[in-house]
Structure 1
Amino acid sequence: MESALPGNMYNIKEIVLPLRSETFVPVSLPRNAGQPHCCVLVERVNNDLRWKVARTLIRTTDISGVRVLNLYDREQIIEKGTLVSTCEYTDWLRRCQYISSGTPSKDSETRVITLLEDCRSVLSPNEFVKAKKLLLKYADVFSSNDADMGKTGLVQHKINPGEELPIRQRPRRLPVAREKEVETMIEGMVKDGIIEPSSSPWCSPVLLVKKKDGTMRFCVDYRRRNDVTKRDSYPLPRIDDTLDMLTRVKWFSTLDLKSGYWQVEIDLKDKEKTAFSTGKGLWEFKVMPFGLCNAPATFERLMELVLTGLIGDACLVYLDDIIIVGRTFEEHLQNLERVFMNNQNANLNLSPKKCSLFKRQVNFLGYVLSEEGIRTDPEKIAAVKYCPIPKDKTQVRAFLGLCSYYRRFVKNFANIAKPLYKLTEENIIIRRHFCWDESCNIAFQELKDRLCKTPILGYSNASKAFIVDTDASDIGLGCVLSQRNGDQEKIKERIFPPPRLHLSVYKYLEPYAKLL
């Protein structure tokens, strides 16, 4: 295909782009002094991240505009005369009989085979071939080594301390045995383009935190900086609402980004606010570091932009954890490709070690998901099972917090846990004396037993009727949303945790209390 010199395409009237949707934008074609051409190749403009233009090949007799996708969660206005895209006129087209593609590198093929190795038992030979073909097509989405990380400018992290003066903290002393290890970490981050030397008026100390495998994690203590930073209120999705989006799914894949925060750019004027010191030099991050109070909000905003149009249909996302679902293998394969393509376009890389593909059962956010439904993760429940008797109010709160994560699996959770909740109440008697009596011990053991024998919660089906049951007593309120499973008498239940009630509510008569 031969082409003439490229030209610019401008919109001919002001256009409002609705949030997270695609809009047809009328544009003007550039003049061309050459011979008549039959087609126009539309390319996107890279200098504006507010929207994306679909790459298209269109006949000149048909083109009147281009398709523009607004990725943001607010309306965008394209003023008249704005450069929307570029294009090239083509002289002629020839129908391709054969498509020549490069041979995948040996390293790419090895990584793909490793990813699929534990899928052979659930995939047929034909399905395995299709899965391998897809992964080879998007092999560059997976990191090849620890230094192979993407970087996206779709969202930039900002730090807004208001009118506060820069905060400078003295470096903390590190264990002598760890000094060489820290120097190696610094050298590695400089080599990988994560940090650079700084002359910032800000400075935060460094500390080392031990990982589960015994190695040390490099952390910067940004607590003082976070205290003066204006908060970003972008919400993280509710985990229970996220899981409720699942319905009639049979195939699962989970993806995890490679050092996800480090793939997000930080605003140039805010880099100096990330400065830290180990006692030897001053450094600042070139990417979004861990430990900043608004980092989760920035990352969730990024992922929801990258996966616009896919969340709730093809996948679910919570920060850097992505789960792709499908009712059939073909649908699952298609959904995986859509997610891979969006990550590739955003220049985000996945960690192959943390990805689990083409499964009938996966662990996600502390739950085990399968075709049958949702159940608790045995590894997480083990922490409850072997939890010792709390010695103070703080330990009681920690135990209740862990149990409350799975309270939808425990019938009458509030009634059972009431003696423990009483221990956490803020009153003068409790503050003076922590009294663990027999009722507390019974509640403690009952919760542990119930959580170790939890049922499987079925997925809801929005096309079928729901049954709502409410109850009230002088202890608390309860609500169950259930649904019949086909023609059988078996009922899928979702137990809604009751709210913490004001003392005046307990005076209501039972019929009125149920209406709450």
Structure 2
Amino acid sequence: MICALKTAEIPKEYEDLVAVFDEKEAEKLPPHRPYDCKIELEPGAILPCSRIYALTEAENQHLKEYLDEYLANGFIRPSESPVSSPLFFIPKKDGSLRTCIDYRALNQVTIKNRYPLPLVSVLLDQVKNARIYTKLDLRGAYHLIRVASGDEWKTAFRTRYGLFEYQVMPYGLCNAPAAFQHFVNDILQEFLDRIAVVYIDDILIFSDNLQEHISHVRSILTRLQENHLYVKLEKCAFHVERVEFLGFILSPGVSMDPAKIKTLQHWPSPCNVKEIQSFLGFANFYRRFISNFSQTVTPITRLLKKGVKFEWTKEAENALNFLKNSFVSAPILLHPNPDEPYYVEADASDVAIGGILSQRHKDTGQ
């Protein structure tokens, strides 16, 4: 049995790569690269000039600290931009504040970067034969990429202390996920799907045995270090046989994250269409674990049809409760074995049609 290492310490196998875990280095202004975030605008685009949002005393104090820190490390600079987006704060679970810029108006007139994000289901399939994992979380993520030279003014945000613009890629830009995925994919291209999978700033390294795994992890850490990317040690998991990744628990099979199950268990009955959409967005992510999901959820989805008056019925409530109970008892899904036979099950009703491709477990026969 391989035991998880304490993430508060750098594993001895990687102590010579200490620089890749350096928090202070991650706070330095990164160099310009070919992957700088471009903000290309649609022809004739009219850019926003926002008002200042009112802030509480606590938010205002946080703003001062944010500006001081980001000005000091060069992540932002004073701006003379003719446009601006509003700044606001969102409370985190620990009570602290997350700084946000509302770039919705800018995003509406930005030409979209169509570089694809990987499908989560495909990433899970790539690691199906692994026995040991290491998960890396990149520190600073988007701030590790510069805004393209000449585009900084488009990121300007207004505060009571002045107008500022980003020199690093801020959170909230519509093209930020694609730009970062492209950057990391190219850096780790030779390792992708062979020893690692990447979803934006989450990197999962997988291997058959510990000896190989240490070599694989060293290769990834070295490549990150060479490209001025840094790892958040406290969010890493090294040399484990069971790991949380993208909302799933990976082991010899795939199961739901218990924290997400708890969220679904306590989900209140929707009071409007927007709340239904929120629930379905969450539930759809895990639909692979629920047999006949489409048919079960029909009493809820029919309330989304155009012209249907919202009325939360007993039938819809029963469907919601059934789904909650189903998620709690959801099975661990084993990865398919191409050497074993497959079974096809088809089903249809007045509201849904579907099929299941499955295999029998060699030990249990289920």
Q: Under TM normalisation by the shorter chain, which class is it?
A: over 0.9
Distance in 2 of aligned mates of 1:436 and 1:217: 35
Distance in 1 of aligned mates of 2:361 and 2:54: 61
- Structure 1 stretches of 4+ moved >6 Å: none
1:134 paired with 2:13, answer yes
Quote the residue 2:365 is aligned against.
490
1:283 paired with 2:159, answer no
Quote the residue 1:112 is aligned against.
none
1:469 paired with 2:348, answer no
Quote the residue 1:442 is aligned against.
318
1:256 paired with 2:137, answer yes
1:167 paired with 2:48, answer yes
User: 1:149, 1:348 within 8 Å by CA — same for their partners in 2?
Assistant: no
Q: Which has the higher helix share?
A: 2
The TM-score with structure 1 as length reference comes to 0.66
Distance in 2 of aligned mates of 1:447 and 1:146: 46
User: 1:381, 1:451 within 8 Å by CA — same for their partners in 2?
Assistant: yes
Distance in 1 of aligned mates of 2:137 and 2:316: 40
TM-superposition CA deviations, 1:194-239 (whole Å, max 9, x none): 1111122221121111111111111111111111111111111111
Quote the residue 1:228 is aligned against.
109
Give me the CA root mean square deviation: 2.2
User: 1:119, 1:358 within 8 Å by CA — same for their partners in 2?
Assistant: no
3-state DSSP of counterpart to 2:212: helix
1:245 deviates by 1.4
1:119 deviates by 10
Distance in 2 of aligned mates of 1:349 and 1:119: 15
1:470 deviates by 2.7
Higher Rg of the two aligned structures? 1
The TM-score with structure 2 as length reference comes to 0.92
Quote the residue 1:393 is aligned against.
273
3-state DSSP of counterpart to 2:135: strand
Greater relative contact order, per chain length (Cα 8 Å cut-off, separation 6+): 2
User: 1:143, 1:258 within 8 Å by CA — same for their partners in 2?
Assistant: no
Quote the residue 1:208 is aligned against.
89
1:350 deviates by 0.9
Instruction: Map 1:20-35 to 2 at 5 A.
Output: none
Q: 1:331 to 1:464 in 2, by over 3 A?
A: farther
User: 1:150, 1:347 within 8 Å by CA — same for their partners in 2?
Assistant: no
Q: 1:177 to 1:141 in 2, by over 3 A?
A: closer
Quote the residue 2:329 is aligned against.
453
3-state DSSP of counterpart to 1:317: strand
1:370 deviates by 1.0
User: 2:76, 2:165 within 8 Å by CA — same for their partners in 1?
Assistant: yes
1:167 deviates by 2.9
Quote the residue 2:36 is aligned against.
156
1:294 paired with 2:175, answer yes
* Number of equivalences: 361
1:147 deviates by 5.7
Quote the residue 2:303 is aligned against.
423
User: Which 5+ residue runs of structure 1 have no aligned equivalent?
Assistant: 1-114, 121-130, 492-516
Question: Partner amino acid for 2:345?
Answer: D
TM-superposition CA deviations, 1:378-413 (whole Å, max 9, x none): 111111101122222222222222211111001111
Moved more, 285-294 or 159-168: 159-168
Question: Partner amino acid for 2:321?
Answer: Q
Distance in 2 of aligned mates of 1:205 and 1:276: 6
Distance in 2 of aligned mates of 1:347 and 1:119: 21
Distance in 2 of aligned mates of 1:154 and 1:310: 21
Distance in 1 of aligned mates of 2:127 and 2:196: 9
User: 1:363, 1:377 within 8 Å by CA — same for their partners in 2?
Assistant: yes
Distance in 1 of aligned mates of 2:12 and 2:25: 25
Q: Percent identity?
A: 32
3-state DSSP of counterpart to 2:191: coil
